Each structure stands twice: as C-alpha cells, then as structure tokens.
Structure 1
Amino acid sequence: MHAMTPEMQSCIDECLACYRTCLGEAMNHCLEAGGEHTEPAHFRTMIACAEMCRTSAHLMLTGSDLHRHSCAACAEICEACAESCEGIEGMESCAAQCRRCAESCRRMAA
C-alpha cells in the first residue's frame, strides 16, 4: 500500500483527462469527421489509449503498487496515440493531452 502523493494525484487527473479526451474525440469528432479519423489503426489506438488511461487511474485509486506496470504501458500507448493524432487535422488537443499523460505516467512508472 502506498500513500497518495501529489504526483500520483496529478497522474490520476492526467489519466482521467486523457480518458475523457480520447474517448470523447473518438466517439464524437472522429466518427462524425470520417475519413482518416476513422481509419482502423488510428481509431483502435484512440480506444486503447482511453481504456489504458482509465485502467491506470483505477489502479492508482485502489492503492495497488501494481500501478507502476499499468503506468509504464499507459505511457507507451499514450505516445502512440499522440503520434497517430498528430498526423490528422483537428486532433492537436488530443495529441497534447496524450503527451501530458504519457509524461506523468512515465514518472509514476519509475
């Protein structure tokens, strides 16, 4: 069991923000825009990112020391999502949120 540090609370906040951003953008902006926004690899990456962010926040909130593993994976998936979003017009805010979450998760995984 670990104590909730300000750094962990910040990571939880970033993960939940990234979850909302990726899921919201995928289900609204991307589905409505179509084209490259709904290209299978991009869309799957966004959904995977949202779910991994939710899972990492969940593990940190439960007090599990295993959060380090989910945070490491989350950082990697968030980076992949950011790269995918950066190649598509109108996805800049999603890419930026993914980068912030990745950086926070890297600190928690260390």
Structure 2
Amino acid sequence: MHHTDADMKACIDECLACYATCLSMATGHCLELGGKHTEKKHFTLMLACAEICRTSAHFMLIGSPHHKHTCRECAEICSECADDCERIGDMQDCVDACRRCAESCNKMAA
C-alpha cells in the first residue's frame, strides 16, 4: 500500500498529539489524582504510549522505511492505553487521542 504525504503528515500529527496528551495527563492529571491513576502498570503504560508515539513520529519525520514497524507497535500500545484509560475513568482526552493515533498508525503500518 502506498501512503501519500498527506496520510503521513496526518499520522505524524496524531502521534505528536497523543504523545503530548499521554505525557501531560500522566505527569499532571494522574499524579494529582493518585490512587488507581498511579498504579505502576497503568502509569508505565501511559509513559510507554507517549514514547512510542514520539518515536513513530520521529521515524516518519526522518523518512525511515522502518516507520511501518514503529507504527504497528504504536497502534498496539495506543489501543491498550486507550482501553486502560477507559477502565481507570476520568481520562477521556487520553482515550480519544490514543484511539485516533491507533487508527492512523494502523493505516501507516499496512
């Protein structure tokens, strides 16, 4: 499947938006609320999601053909993060950002 520059730009934008959302919610929202929001598994997943989003955007920005691999992993982690944030509750911004990013990355990984 051939991806247009517009497809890739849209995916980069979704990855960077998800990166910013997960990182800011983890270090702000979750740390402030504590409890289930700072459980190790959940908190680590949010930080991993932010990092794979940043990495996928970086691979696309530098034109690496390996972006398909990072995007595939990014989609998987974003989906898991969205599900977990939904389970925790009161994290709809993160859920939405992760789902949009997962959808976009799935297209780029195809």
Shorter-chain TM band: over 0.9
Aligned to 2:50: 50
State the alpha-carbon separation in 2 of the partners of residues 83 and 3 from structure 1. Answer: 28
Aligned to 2:9: 9
Matches for 1:72-87 after TM superposition, within 5 Å: 72-87=72-87
Aligned to 1:99: 99
**Offset at residue 3 of structure 1 (A):** 8.5
String of CA shifts for 1:17-45, please: whole Å, max 9, x gaps. Answer: 00000000000000000000001100000
The aligned length equals 109
Identity %, equivalent residues: 61
Aligned to 1:38: 38
Residues 1:109 and 1:34: Cα distance change in structure 2 (over 3 Å): same
Structure 1 gaps, min length 5: none
Residues 1:63 and 1:4: Cα distance change in structure 2 (over 3 Å): farther
State the alpha-carbon separation in 1 of the partners of residues 3 and 71 from structure 2. Answer: 17
State the alpha-carbon separation in 2 of the partners of residues 4 and 12 from structure 1. Answer: 12
Aligned to 1:28: 28
State the alpha-carbon separation in 1 of the partners of residues 3 and 82 from structure 2. Answer: 30
| 8 Å CA contact 2:82, 2:98 repeated in 1 | yes
Q: Where does structure 1 differ by over 4 angstroms across 4 or more consecutive aligned residues?
A: none
Give me the CA root mean square deviation: 1.4
